[in-house]
Amino acid sequence: MKGAQKMTFRDFTSVVDYRTREANSGPSRVDPSPFAGTWVNTNDSAPHRIAKLVMTVRDGILMVHVWGFCEPDACDWGEAPAEVYADSINSQTAMSFTATFDFGFMETHLQTNLKRGTMVIATANKFSDLSGRSDYYTREFFYQIDDHSF
Amino acid sequence: MDTGRYFRAGDRAELANDGVDRTIDLAPFVGTWINTMRDTQGFAKLIVSNRDGKLFVQAFAAAGPDLCDWGEVEANGFADRVDSRKGAGFGAHYDTESIEVAFQANMNLGLLVLLTFNRFRDGSNRANYICREFFHR
């Protein structure tokens, strides 16, 4: 295999990655547009939930704006850039994104994937405020709505 | 009652603020985990260990006749709630300079479900991608 000697075993996570690198040509940029729009939580009773996300594509970058469930008004997390992932190494179809929000007292890392029109969001939440709260993990489901009213 | 700062209502908790260490129970993760797909072309085996209260992951990828040892990295354990100590998932991160792989793992019905986020940095034009795999002990 041409060029194989240049690779180390940790240049790929699977045999497919290894083969594809040698065969690949041209840019392979994942299209983030499937995420663009407004997404709302399927579960309106979970207190840990993310209530809503509004995602836009600016200059090819997916920007994620998040609101957490708070009362009486939602907590605005602000906006963060996202890294977009395909469903396979040869695909340009967006399947997933990751984004990080740093609140100072806690860092929340979003890791998502699309499944049958539903967006599954896992959050890894790590506290740095020595409050005694446990770092915790959530998994939530979202569906897309047509307009930006909520 | 001090409930701490929050950006989600569920993050409020009655805080003890007593300086007591309340680390997450990492026992649910510890052990050797084997991919349920014997012919996987991704990660075939994970060894998860707890040393002095710190979680470590050693991943082995399928890459030919032998497994490729990715080495060991420290992982972060997560509970399922702010007021729980039971380990429900963990995250880890590998960076080989040519590829970054983020692990997102959670326990489900005795399985370890691993979602990997693979990001290439080697200019090879391979698409960043995700992969979901299942492991048993």
Question: Which residues lie across from B14 on neighbouring strands?
Answer: none
Q: Choose among B17, B117, B127: nearest Cβ to A89.
A: B127
Percent of chain B beyond pLDDT 90? Answer: 63
Give which of B55, B128, B133 to mutate to test A binding, by max A Cβ within 10 Å.
B128
Type of residue numbered A123: T
Subunit contact A137:B89, Cβ cutoff 8 A? yes
Subunit contact B96:A70, Cβ cutoff 8 A? no
Subunit contact B4:A133, Cβ cutoff 8 A? yes
Subunit contact B78:A124, Cβ cutoff 8 A? yes
pLDDT, one tens digit per residue, over B120-133 is: 988 887 899 999 99
A20 to each of A36, A125, B63, B129, how far by Cα in Å?
A: 29, 35, 13, 13
Task: Identify which has the larger pLDDT, B11 or A11.
Answer: B11
How much is the ipTM here?
0.80
d(CA B137, CA B31): 7
Give the residue from chain B lying closest to A103, CA to CA: B7
pTM as predicted: 0.81
Residue B3: pLDDT band with limits 50, 70, 90? low
pLDDT, one tens digit per residue, over A131-148 is: 888 899 999 999 999 865
Contacts with B69 from chain A: Cβ below 8 Å: 9
Residue B41: pLDDT band with limits 50, 70, 90? confident
Check: CB of residue A136 under 8 Å from CB of residue A125.
yes
- Residue A2 contacts by C-beta under 8 Å, 6 or more apart in sequence? A22
Sequential DSSP letters for A46-91: -TT-EEEEEEEEETTEEEEEEEE--SSS-EEEEEEEEEEEESSTT-
The closest of B34, B54, B18, B10 to B137, measured between CA atoms, is: B34
CA angle B72–B122–A113, rounded 5-degree value: 70
Helices (H), B28-133: none
